[in-house]
Amino acid sequence: MSGALLAVTIACATFLVGPAAPPSAHLSGSPPSVGIAEPVGPARGLGLAPTGKPIRQRSPIRVPHPPAGGLGIGGVIVAGSLLARRRRAGEGSAAYGPVFVYVPGHGGDPRGFDDLAARMGIDPKDVRVFDYRWAWPTADMIEASRRATTDDAADALGAYLAALGSDGRPIYLVGHSKGGAVITEVVSRWDAVPALGVDAVIGATILDPPISSGPLGLLQSLGWVHGETADDGLFSPVRCGWTGCHDVRDRLGERSGVEVVIVRNPDAGFTNFRDRPERVRVYDLDDRGGSMQSRFPDVVGMWQRMGEAHNSVLHSDTVADCIAAEARSAGTCSWPSPEPSRISGGGQR
């Protein structure tokens, strides 16, 4: 069936049948969640997939809380600049292993990194979860992740990373869905003005990000219309100015020194992108579930399959091995990895 017809089918299904029952949070054979992120939000169905009912669960991982009322755009920019300068003027502490910063998707579960972290053997004390309330002041962390635009979230994330990296400890970024778009925006800004970057950030893995251009990109910006469907936070990869247009995905991280890896599942259909940016490593994950088109004309089944494929990047040994390798040494991810890779000193796999 044509892409246009499929798009209309999915759009109609969103409003006629509402969100389908959330797909299983783990693929067959995956270990249970280790609960490293702080509590609130849907248990399943991250990103551009339907979400489950909110749950509460305590965990040892800290979600940094924003100041009352948020920083505001001006405050974020000033704080980011000052802290970034402080980082570059100070001495590093690279003797410590990296701290991982996870950026959830639109309406995504703050505990979304749990399974990958367990597979990698990461100590929960070495993980932080970005709180979108830095970008959209509200009492509800999940609602903030839905309402904050990619631009505002990138302002806040940039300032937070500058503060976190002020002691020089290496930082590795992981973003899923809209969180991947936010990381893409931050890194592209650092590429444009490298002096604004944070030296402590050594790399990033972006998981099934909705960073498409063209008609698909427009569809990815409409998730806000239906509360249980995520969008890209109005992210657009093509930027135009007096000298012409360019795609910020091309050579992403090259000028700022951030080694970027993108992992997508093509079977998800609408939740990622189809082209391959110039000089950026893009890996395709096959979770052996088939394409969403294979379930046509079962619209609910197609919707469920999209969610399963979109979330599969969060429950994969191959993805975990890739992130672990990159966090230890940039550019060393082997896809798929022939040998399991874990972060030294972490938990069991």
Q: What is the pLDDT of residues 310-349, one digit of tens each?
A: 899 999 999 999 999 999 999 999 887 655 555 654 433 4
Considering the domain boundaries, does residue 343 fall inside one?
no
The 8-class DSSP code of residue 238 comes to E
Instruction: Say if CB 115 and CB 43 are below 8 A apart.
Output: no
User: What pLDDT score does 95 carry?
Assistant: 52
Considering the domain boundaries, does residue 345 fall inside one?
no
User: What pLDDT score does 276 carry?
Assistant: 86
The reported pTM is: 0.74
DSSP collapsed to 3 states, 35-95: CCCCCCCECCCCCCCCCCCECCCCCCCECCCCCCCCCHHHHHHHHHHHHHHHHHHCCCCCC
- CA distances from residue 336 to 135, 326, 333 in whole angstroms, order as listed: 36, 13, 8
Alpha-carbon dihedral 179, 331, 199, 347, rounded to 10 degrees:
70
Considering the domain boundaries, does residue 238 fall inside one?
yes
Range of the domain at 217: 3-25+34-328
- CA distances from residue 22 to 52, 164, 254 in whole angstroms, order as listed: 6, 34, 38
The CATH number of residue 88's host domain is 3.40.50.1820
Domain count, the chain: 1
> CB neighbours of 250 closer than 8 A, spacing ≥ 6?
277, 278, 279, 280
User: What pLDDT score does 337 carry?
Assistant: 65
User: What pLDDT score does 185 carry?
Assistant: 95
Q: Around 304, how many Cα atoms within 13 Å sit in the side-chain half-sphere?
A: 16
Considering the domain boundaries, does residue 250 fall inside one?
yes
Using alpha carbons, select from 252, 147, 264, 156 the residue that is nearest to residue 216: 264
pLDDT digits (tens, 9 = 90+) for 85-133: 333 333 444 457 899 999 998 888 889 999 999 999 999 999 999 999 9
Considering the domain boundaries, does residue 233 fall inside one?
yes
Q: Which residues of the chain have pLDDT under 50?
A: 1-5, 8-62, 67-94, 227-228, 345-349
State whether the Cα torsion 21-54-36-59 is positive or negative: negative
User: What pLDDT score does 163 carry?
Assistant: 94
Cα distance between residue 271 and residue 265, in whole Å: 9
Cis peptide before 336 (omega within 30 of 0): yes
User: What pLDDT score does 234 carry?
Assistant: 82
Using alpha carbons, select from 174, 172, 283, 187 the residue that is nearest to residue 235: 187
Considering the domain boundaries, does residue 76 fall inside one?
yes
Considering the domain boundaries, does residue 348 fall inside one?
no
Considering the domain boundaries, does residue 349 fall inside one?
no
User: What pLDDT score does 214 carry?
Assistant: 66
User: What pLDDT score does 298 carry?
Assistant: 84
Sheet holding 171-176, edge to edge: 127-129, 99-103, 171-176, 201-207, 259-264, 281-284
Instruction: Say if CB 119 and CB 323 are below 8 A apart.
Output: no
Cα distance between residue 110 and residue 105, in whole Å: 9
Q: Around 298, how many Cα atoms within 13 Å sit in the side-chain half-sphere?
A: 11
